[in-house]
Amino acid sequence: MKSIYIFSGLGADERVFKHLDFSGFDTTFIRWTQPTKGETIEHYACRLKEQIGTERPILLGLSFGGIMAIEVAKHIDTEKIIIIASAKTKNEIPFYYRLAGRLNIHKLLPIAIMKRPNVLSYWFFGTQSNNDKRMLANILHDTNAEFLKWSIDKIVKWKNQTLHKNLMHIHGTADKILPLCFVDCDLKVSCGGHFMTVNKADELTKKIRRLL
């Protein structure tokens, strides 16, 4: 049985994957650990790889989890990397995020407000049903503020230009956080937003299993 190691989105956990079908695979969810003061994304990836106990695993990452899967794959031999609603290199991070990183504007963002669900966050994530909004609200509430601050900094200042040869990219056509126009993906999910692991689970499952 092949092993899949799953990297959840920023601050999220396996809840966002509960509607996806990974039957026939041995799945392990990578646990986010608290970054140390001043820790680089490269060092953090080395710590995360200690949770991987099989040779040539399949890595699957959602959003920030996709970025971390790419960083971890620099240190281990992988059979395949699948990223969802994410970016392969720094060039796929929207220019306005990168500009904010250069100017350190992102450090002015009030983290407490970002953890509080509102109309804007629902729109950005593409959550429409009450159940989706409730799950997003719970995830935001459970996200560690320091981890959120550290992760945002690593995203907007990501320097990666390594393009793994065994990397496959699935992206939603309606993603507002990482718009499709900035990425070059292998498979598209029609009308899929940043929350499509939850509200486009059937279509996404078919595309993931197709790549697996």
Gap between the Cα atoms of 199 and 132, Å rounded: 7
Number of structural domains, the chain? 1
What residue type is assigned to position 92 of the chain? E
Mean pLDDT by 10 residues, the chain (212 residues): 92 86 95 93 97 96 97 97 98 97 90 83 90 89 90 96 95 97 97 95 96 92
Contact 78, 55 (CB under 8 A): no
Give dist(CA 103, CA 212) in Å, integer.
40
Apex 67 CA angle, 196 and 49, nearest 5: 115
Structural domain boundaries, residue 83:
3-211
- 132 residue type, one letter: D
Q: What is the CATH number of the domain that holds 132?
A: 3.40.50.1820
Model pLDDT for residues 20-79, shown as the tens digit of each residue: 999 999 999 999 999 998 999 999 999 999 999 999 999 999 999 999 999 999 999 999
> How many whole angstroms separate alpha carbon 62 and alpha carbon 191?
17
The per-residue pLDDT for 20 is: 96
